[in-house]
Amino acid sequence: MQIVVPEEFEYLYLQDDEHPIIKVPAEVLLQKAQEIKRVTKKHHILAENMLRIMRQARGVGLAAPQVGVSVRIVVMTADDRPVVLFNPKILSATGTNVDEEGCLSIPGLYGDVERSTVVEIEALDRKGRKSTWEMDGMSARVVQHEIDHLDGILFTEKVDQATVYWQHPSKQTTAAE
């Protein structure tokens, strides 16, 4: 889907110290992120910064490419707790659900996306140990959206085109951002 930002939404596409999230059409959003060989202090600092940026933007998930770093790190809020996943991948997915999504890298654009309702994820935890998580509902949707970011896939590639619309984010609450 070609994204043409309407003039009245261009203010959302600022990028500076106050607005650090990378916006389309930045190349880093379209590239497959590099796997982390070993979780280091540098990765922990990046993840903590990502959590801060995600909260500041009032998002529920954020992938490292969205802050301009092409590595496989996802942060998200699950059951009001921060979750950090290094090298996350989906082991299994069941069920389907359609819900509205938006994206902090495409602010103001929303539409319906079909996702699995339950996913089993494998990732390295904060201590660098391989772990598995089972996520359902909102957490499953968010982690799928963020893993897509790690693979250079934007929600606009999966959205039901008939449901796409623009709205100012302050008036909007969506399932995944």
> Does a cis peptide bond (omega within 30 degrees of 0) precede residue 25?
yes
Among the listed residues 167, 123, 176, 174, the one whose alpha carbon sits nearest the alpha carbon of residue 149: 176
Catalytic choice (18, 101, 146, 157): 146
What is the reported pTM? 0.93
pLDDT at 119: 98
Look at residue 177 and tell me if it is in a domain.
Answer: no
Assigned domain for 117 exists: yes
* 114 in a structural domain: yes
Q: Is residue 98 part of a domain?
A: yes
Once rounded to an integer, what is the mean pLDDT over residues 135-145? 96
Alpha carbon distance 67, 23 (integer Å): 9
73, β-bridge pairs: 86
Phi, psi of 104 (to 5 degrees): -65, -20
* pLDDT reading at 42 higher than 90: yes
| 1, part of any domain | no
Give me the CATH number covering residue 148.
3.90.45.10
pLDDT confidence bin for 89, thresholds 50/70/90: very high
In a domain, 139, yes or no: yes
pLDDT of residue 63: 98
Compare 176 and 127 and report the one with higher pLDDT.
Answer: 127
Is 146 one of the annotated active-site residues of the chain?
yes
pLDDT class for 153, splitting at 50, 70, 90? very high
pLDDT, one tens digit per residue, over 27-36 is: 999 999 999 9
How many domains does the chain contain in total?
Answer: 1
By C-alpha distance, which of 108, 106, 89 is closest to 147?
89
What average pLDDT does this structure show over 98-117?
A: 97
Give the per-residue pLDDT at 10: 92
| pLDDT for residue 87 is more than 70 | yes
pLDDT given for residue 150 in this prediction? 98
Q: Residue 27: which domain range?
A: 7-171
CA-to-CA dists, residue 106 to 24, 83, 91, angstroms = 6, 23, 28
36: in domain: yes
Residue 85 falls inside a structural domain: yes
Q: Model confidence at 175, in pLDDT bands (50, 70, 90)? A: low
